[in-house]
Structure formats: C-alpha cells, structure tokens
Structure 1
Amino acid sequence: MIEKLNNIVKIKSGVFAKSDANPDLHYIQSTDFNKQRNWNKTLNPILANSSKFSSHILNAGDILFVAKGRDFFAVVYDGMFKPAVASTTFLVLQVQDKSCVPEYLAWYLNHPQTQTLLWSLAKGSAIPSISKSIIEQIEIPIPELSKQITILELHKLQMKEKRIHKQIGKLRQEYINELTYKSIQ
C-alpha cells in the first residue's frame, strides 16, 4: 500500500524560543545530533515550561524531521530528554496510522533514494528547506508490520556492520603503525 505522508501522520512545526531562567524544558535542535543521527551530548533544559508550549510537547514515537539546513534527516524521539519541544528546524511528525511504525517512517525518510527526492524538492539556496506542504505529498510505501520490522532489523545489522568495519580499520592501522615503527628500531 502506498500512502501520502499527510494521510498517515499529523505534522506540526517546531517552536521558536529563547532560553529562560529556571529552565525545566528541553529544547531540541539539529545540532544535538551527530553525523550518525545519535544524540551527541547530554541535553540540559534551557526553557521554562509554560502553557505556550503545551501543544508542542514531544511524545515518545514522534518523528523529528530536520527540514532546514544542509542535512535533511529524521529521528524518532524516544523520550530520553523530557519534557521537550523541537526547534523550528524540525517538522514534528506524529504517526496516526497504526499500520506504520515510526522507526520505519524515519528509516524511509533517511533512505538515500528518498533523500534524493527530498533534495530535488528543497527550496532555497543559502538555507535549503522542505516545507510542510511539500513533505505532506511524499508517497510512502507501507508494507505489513512484519516486513517493516524486518527492514528495521536489517538496517540495525547494517549499521552494526559499519561500526565493526570502522573498528577493524582502526585496529589494522594501529597494528601496521606499531609493526612499521618496531621495524626501524
């Protein structure tokens, strides 16, 4: 089954805010993620929670889609830092259709073929962006849940394999460096 994104998710914009005294609310920004799209640091609250943020509080399973900048990507908010709101760099996608796993949707949005499509639809040259109206029209194949889970498991194994290859390369380099250094002593 293929669905337009706006048929399976509710899309909200992130909020613009400045840091406050006595903060108790996390403000998630794209700089809080490393190149592997993992949290790159411990996030500290910088906003004071108030009623103006109530409709923007993130829930576990919300997808944070970076829609502005040089790297469009999606991550699933796991609730690690809460309460939290997303900055205006993000579009927040809340899956409404139980036949779609949020992690699958994030995987699909991060897939190289989808990324090529997103870049072809991006507007602006100084700061490229994907508008809410554009992303709503993206068509998403929604396989049955078991296939979504299988795809996600395969993706996790692929990421693990990349990490292992990187570690092997580093160890090989250290070994050769040590071996060549010892050969001249």
Structure 2
Amino acid sequence: MTQTTQTALISSIADVRTGYTFRERISENKHGNAHVLQLKDARQIWEQTNSATINVDKLPRIFWDGKSKAFAEPNSILLPSKGSYLRASKLVSNQDSLPTVVSGQFLTLKVKDSAKQHIHSDYLCWVLNQPETQRLLAESSQGTKIMMLSAKAVKDVTIKIPSLETQTKVMHLNEMWEKEQKLINELLINRQKMVQGTVQQLLKETN
C-alpha cells in the first residue's frame, strides 16, 4: 500500500503562542523555583551539541511568582521570534523537573491532541529546521533593524507530513546524525587540546 505525504498549515496541527515578556532584566539564581529559557541559552546549546533537544534541568533558574500559564509544557517546540536565528528546539523534562518559563524571544508550539495521531512533535521540530521551512520563516519575518516572526506568520506556514512510520524513520536517522555530530565535536575539542598542549610544551623547550 502506497503511503502518501500530506500537507497542512501549522495552525491546523499545533497551537502557537508567544513566550513570556519579562518587564525587567532576568535575574538568574541557582536556588530558584523555576527554569528560564532565553535565546542565548538555546543558541549555545545548539552550538555545543548540534542537538535540537533542550533539557530543562540544564537551564538557569529564577525565582518565579507569576502565573503558571507562563510555563511551557514538556515536548513543546520553541521557535525563536527575534533576529536571524530561527532554529527550532524541543523542550524535554522529567517528573522531578522544575517548571520552565520561556522568554518572549520565542514562539511556543504544541501539537494539538487532535493531530497527535498524524504528527510527532519530534518531526515537527525537525521539519521546522529544514532549509525550505527556514526560508519560508525568514521570508515571513518583518522588521528593518531586528527581524520579528509573528505567531500568525508561523501558523500560515505549510509543511509536509508523511506517515507516522516514515516520520519515525526520519527521526531515527536524524538521531543517529546528531550523535555522530556530537562525537565529531568531542574529537575535535580533544584534538585541539592535544595540539595546544604540544605547542605549549614546544615553547617551553625553546626558552
């Protein structure tokens, strides 16, 4: 039986909302009662791991006394809404994790219950990071000095949705690629340390 790929507006498969707009400078505190995600954190995690997964337990903490509706649900997809960096990430946590407040630098996407039988959240994150979708998002951004991506613009983007079986295969391949990239990065870092150590030793010998 031939499995077909369908297309759908993001608005039909996911709820999209903006993150929380902090009125004052965010004060991190390691003893805080909630985690916080800022754009700098998401970008740093990607640069260090080449992974679209963000573990909330690795994020900074803050003291939060606001409403719980500002918390991002586990498995939410986080899409930067300001600037040229548009790489999506997926928020993961465990039962013991503190809640997470996502800053207004992001749009939060959550797969609708009615769409869970058609699309995995991992696949949604993956497809948002593909060149074709990234181009559509960039074209939908507005602004002269700072590019802004609105929730409406994201909702109007159309993506391709293959069968759940195909999505699972795609995510398996992507997971293997991410692990390979992580190993390569670790090898490069170790190699750099070895070279730097050798250079320092040579410099000592010449003095």
TM-score normalised to the size of structure 1?
0.81
Query: Which residue pairs with 1:10 in the alignment?
Result: 15
Contact 2:71 2:100 in 1 (8 A): yes
CA distance in 2, matches of 1:39, 1:91: 18
Structure 1: stretches of 5+ with no match in the other structure: none
The letter of the residue matching 2:64 is: L
Q: Does 1:64 align with 2:78?
A: yes
What is the identity, as a one-letter code, of the residue corresponding to 1:121? S
Partner of 1:28: 37
Q: What are the ranges of 5 or more consecutive residues in structure 2 without an aligned counterpart?
A: 1-5
Map 1:36-75 → 2, pairs under 5 A: 36=50, 37=52, 38=54, 42-48=59-65, 50=66, 53-75=67-89
Q: Tell me which of 56, 79, 84 is aligned to 2:100.
A: 84
What residue identity is the alignment partner of 1:91?
A: L
Percent of residue pairs bearing the same amino acid type: 24
Cα distance in 1 between the residues matched to 2:35 and 2:91: 12
Query: Counterparts in 2 of 1:29-178, with a 5 A limit?
Result: 29-33=38-42, 34=44, 35=47, 36=50, 37=52, 38=54, 42-48=59-65, 50=66, 53-79=67-93, 81-96=97-112, 97-98=115-116, 99-169=118-188, 174=194
1:62 offset after TM fit, Å? 1.2
Superposition CA RMSD, Å: 3.1
Shift of 1:158: 1.5
Q: Deviations over 1:86-106 (max 9, x none)?
A: 111111111001111111101
Q: Is the 8 A contact 1:59 1:79 kept in 2?
A: no
Alpha-carbon displacement from aligned partner over 1:124-167 (angstroms, at most 9, x marks no partner): 13211211111101111111111111111111111222233344
Aligned length: 180
CA contact (8 A) 2:55 2:93 kept: no
